[in-house]
Amino acid sequence: MSDLKAAAARALACLDLTNLNEDCTEEDVRALCARAQTPHGPTGAICIWPQFVSLAKPLLAGTGIRIATVVNFPSGMEDADTVIGMTETAVADGADEIDMVIPWPKLIEGHPQEAAAMVRRVRKSADGAEVKAILETGMLADPGLIRSAAEQAIEGGAHFIKTSTGKVPVNATLTSARIMLEAIRDSGEEVGFKPAGGVKSTQDAADYLALCDEIMGEGWATPATFRIGASGVLDALLATLDGADEPQTGEGY
């Protein structure tokens, strides 16, 4: 249990506590901000829809919890000028991090360079906010396409590469995580990694931390370089830290 507790503590500090439900309300966001301030310390960030950023900003002031939001989400195929406008508005509202979906269908069609171009534009418009590029690995599926997507996102200047939106049938997997971490390692760039969707138990979180330790070296995975995108795993992490049984996991992000 001590090893699992240590993993739970690491994971909690790296958690992007998420509500990207279609029916999310202001009350839900207030509750999310409160949940992120746990008895075992704050989560790394919350991840919410753009329209709620200005609401969350004062609620998290002084907590150290960052605010992430999403653009070009979840399709990856919105008009570029619209995505840039959303990015600029989100940053003006107080977003610290922009989780953007790359135009992954273009990779499948044989136009990978469009992913780098979109990341480059979003990073420029983010005005210092960190950019996490979502590859949608479950839809790319092919290891070669996942590797290409990771390389294009890194070339475009992404601060993090992220597996998934959580809105498709297959989200984060250890297989796709390995491909992405190896791309980061081989690039020589300082780029972080975020698995998202499907991380539901403390053991799930521990498995991703162990993979980071294996590929990137022990101590690499900190909130500055590693995040977990999840809504349900917080209860599991807190239960582990309290020495209690984990709750039954459900479906969702």
Which tens digit of pLDDT belongs to each residue from 147-175? 999 999 999 999 999 999 999 999 999 99
Tokens 């993090």 belong to which residue? 160
Residue 237 falls in which region: left (phi positive, over 0), alpha (psi -120 to 50) or beta:
alpha
* Residue 234: other Cβ atoms inside 10 A: 20
pLDDT (0 to 100) of residue 142:
97
Mean pLDDT on 195-209: 97
pLDDT (0 to 100) of residue 65:
98
* pLDDT at residue 253 tops 70: no
Mean pLDDT on 119-141: 98
How many domains does the chain fold into?
Answer: 1
Question: Which residues pair with residue 67 across a beta bridge?
Answer: 46
CATH number (domain holding residue 118):
3.20.20.70
Q: How far is CA 221 from the centre of its chain?
A: 14
Which tens digit of pLDDT belongs to each residue from 98-118? 999 999 999 999 999 999 999
Which residue range is the domain that position 48 belongs to? 2-242
pLDDT (0 to 100) of residue 207:
98
Q: Are 92 and 133 in contact (CB under 8 A)?
A: no
Q: How far apart are CA 55 and CA 64, in angstroms?
A: 16
Q: Are 119 and 161 in contact (CB under 8 A)?
A: no
Q: Are 83 and 123 in contact (CB under 8 A)?
A: no
Q: Is 99 annotated as catalytic?
A: yes
Mean pLDDT on 87-107: 98
Residue 215 lies in a domain: yes
Selecting among 16, 96, 132, 162, the annotated active-site residue is 162
Percent of the chain at pLDDT exceeding 70:
98
Selecting among 99, 106, 132, 204, the annotated active-site residue is 99
Residue 252 lies in a domain: no
pLDDT (0 to 100) of residue 251:
44
Dihedral of alpha carbons 129, 189, 191, 145, sign: positive
Residue 253 lies in a domain: no
Element (H, E) at 17: strand 15-19
Q: Are 137 and 122 in contact (CB under 8 A)?
A: no
Selecting among 16, 96, 106, 194, the annotated active-site residue is 194
